[in-house]
């Protein structure tokens, strides 16, 4: 099984559910606090950029709530009706959050920016807006740092870069938190710039532009996450590099003479299903071959990252897998 312990390190899966879930809870708590404060500031300043940021925070909070539901769903054990487990359900909940980011946040941010161009300048207190945005930036930076710190640990174990791991990981929840926090930080900077330019030039168009840009950021982030979740829901196979590592791991098993076919795909965060046709070493009766295959499957599935392993015998004329 040493080969398969090396194999799981090549899969791009993450290793600690409790740590990942704590990252989501940090983001959820910070999001609720930021949403309340930004909403109050938006009412007091009548700033379009501040309103877009408030909506962004509420959408982020809703998204984080979906992520918690996703983790609870994905942790359910396999049963007779779901032999591969419930891991893919996590992508459904993540998809809901991504749709909310794309539609609600982008629509309000862009619509409010366009609407602001045709209204009178009613901004009354820039100081409140700056104080709220500064505090939000500090709190959001702390949340983002927590997520990046966790990703850095996982990326180092897999010899990935931090951002490469965010884009490669099978954990949609972790990816959503990191990208959502990054967009939130960028949105705060944009909102502050829009308010400052509005204050110094007297042109409400700058505040409207800030709201518009925040909406575009949310739309881009939401669309990317929707496409990523769709790919995993449809069944994302291992990358060529990961598949090559899995093939070498199978070939290294002493019972396996050769492998003629291999397929593996992600079935949820940290979970992979493996199917292969193999030729076993030695001469065995039909009953012995069946028992050997079953023992190999059970041995492979002792790895927590393998949700299901299915092996069958190769035909003699089949070529080796590549």
Adjacent-strand bridge partners of 266: 272
pLDDT of residue 20: 59
Would residue 320 count as lying in a domain?
Answer: no
Confidence of residue 10 (pLDDT cuts 50, 70, 90): very low
Confidence of residue 137 (pLDDT cuts 50, 70, 90): confident
Residue 197 confidence (pLDDT) above 70: yes
The total number of structural domains that make up the chain: 2
| Residues 90 and 215 occupy one common structural domain | yes
Residue 314 confidence (pLDDT) above 80: yes
Would residue 322 count as lying in a domain?
Answer: no
| Residues 184 and 285 occupy one common structural domain | no
| Residues 159 and 222 occupy one common structural domain | yes
pLDDT of residue 261: 95
Residue 157 confidence (pLDDT) above 70: no
Mean pLDDT of 262-285: 90
Q: Supply the mean pLDDT for the chain.
A: 80
Confidence of residue 158 (pLDDT cuts 50, 70, 90): low
Q: What percent of the chain has pLDDT over 70?
A: 85
Would residue 162 count as lying in a domain?
Answer: yes
| Residues 116 and 249 occupy one common structural domain | no
| Residues 252 and 229 occupy one common structural domain | no
| Residues 213 and 277 occupy one common structural domain | no
Would residue 318 count as lying in a domain?
Answer: no
User: Which CATH number covers residue 147?
Assistant: 1.20.1510.10
pLDDT of residue 288: 92
Q: Which of 183, 211, 234 is the last residue of a domain?
A: 234
pLDDT of residue 1: 42
| Residues 99 and 196 occupy one common structural domain | yes
33-52 tens-digit pLDDT: 777 887 887 777 777 667 77
pLDDT of residue 9: 44
Confidence of residue 294 (pLDDT cuts 50, 70, 90): very high
Residue 151 confidence (pLDDT) above 90: no
pLDDT of residue 42: 76
User: Which CATH number covers residue 269?
Assistant: 3.30.70.1350
Top mean-pLDDT range of 22-36, 64-78, 116-130, 215-229: 215-229
CA angle at residue 283 from 278 to 287, to 5 degrees? 75
Integer Cα distance of 158 and 216 in angstroms: 33
| Residues 180 and 296 occupy one common structural domain | no
Would residue 220 count as lying in a domain?
Answer: yes
Q: Compare 254 and 114 and report the one with higher pLDDT.
A: 254
Would residue 218 count as lying in a domain?
Answer: yes
**pTM of the predicted structure, to 2 decimals:** 0.76
Mean pLDDT of 53-62: 77
Mean pLDDT of 241-263: 90
Would residue 321 count as lying in a domain?
Answer: no
| Residues 248 and 228 occupy one common structural domain | no
Q: Which of 219, 234, 249 is the last residue of a domain?
A: 234
Q: Please state the length of the chain.
A: 322
| Residues 84 and 141 occupy one common structural domain | yes
Q: Compare 297 and 212 and report the one with higher pLDDT.
A: 297
Would residue 116 count as lying in a domain?
Answer: yes
The domain of 201 spans 2-234
Confidence of residue 170 (pLDDT cuts 50, 70, 90): confident
Residues 6+ apart with CB under 8 A from 150: 19, 20, 23, 174
**Lowest-confidence pick of 1-10, 27-36, 229-238:** 1-10
| Residues 194 and 258 occupy one common structural domain | no
Mean pLDDT of 67-78: 74
Residue 258 confidence (pLDDT) above 90: yes
Q: Which of 234, 264, 297 is the last residue of a domain?
A: 234
Residue 103 confidence (pLDDT) above 60: yes
| Residues 17 and 97 occupy one common structural domain | yes
pLDDT of residue 5: 45
């Amino acid at each position: 099984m040493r080969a398969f312990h090396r194999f799981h390190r090549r899969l791009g899966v993450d290793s600690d559910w409790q740590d990942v879930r704590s990252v989501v809870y940090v983001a959820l708590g910070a999001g609720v606090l930021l949403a309340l404060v930004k909403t109050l500031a938006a009412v007091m300043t009548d700033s379009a950029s501040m309103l877009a940021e408030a909506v962004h925070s509420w959408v982020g909070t809703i998204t984080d709530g979906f992520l918690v539901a996703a983790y609870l769903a994905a942790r359910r054990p396999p049963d007779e009706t779901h032999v591969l487990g419930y891991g893919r359900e996590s992508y459904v909940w993540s998809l809901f959050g991504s749709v909310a980011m794309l539609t609600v946040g982008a629509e309000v941010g862009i619509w409010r920016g366009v609407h602001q161009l045709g209204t009178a300048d009613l901004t009354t207190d820039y100081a409140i807006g700056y104080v709220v945005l500064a505090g939000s930036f500090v709190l959001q930076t702390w949340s983002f740092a927590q997520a990046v710190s966790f990703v850095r640990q996982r990326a180092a174990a897999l010899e990935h870069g931090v951002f490469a791991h965010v884009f490669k990981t099978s954990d949609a929840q972790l990816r959503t938190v990191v990208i959502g926090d990054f967009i939130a930080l960028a949105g705060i900077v944009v909102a502050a710039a829009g308010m400052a330019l509005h204050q110094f030039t007297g042109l409400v168009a700058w505040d409207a532009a800030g709201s518009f840009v925040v909406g575009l950021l949310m739309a881009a982030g939401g669309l990317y996450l929707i496409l990523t979740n769709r790919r995993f829901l449809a069944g994302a196979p291992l990358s060529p590099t990961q598949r090559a590592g899995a093939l070498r791991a199978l070939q290294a098993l002493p019972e396996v003479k050769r492998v003629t076919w291999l397929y593996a795909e992600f079935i949820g965060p940290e979970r992979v299903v493996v199917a292969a046709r193999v030729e076993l070493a030695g001469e065995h009766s039909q009953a012995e071959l069946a028992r050997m295959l079953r023992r190999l499957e059970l041995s492979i599935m002792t790895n927590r990252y393998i949700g299901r392993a299915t092996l069958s015998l190769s035909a003699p004329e089949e070529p080796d897998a590549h």
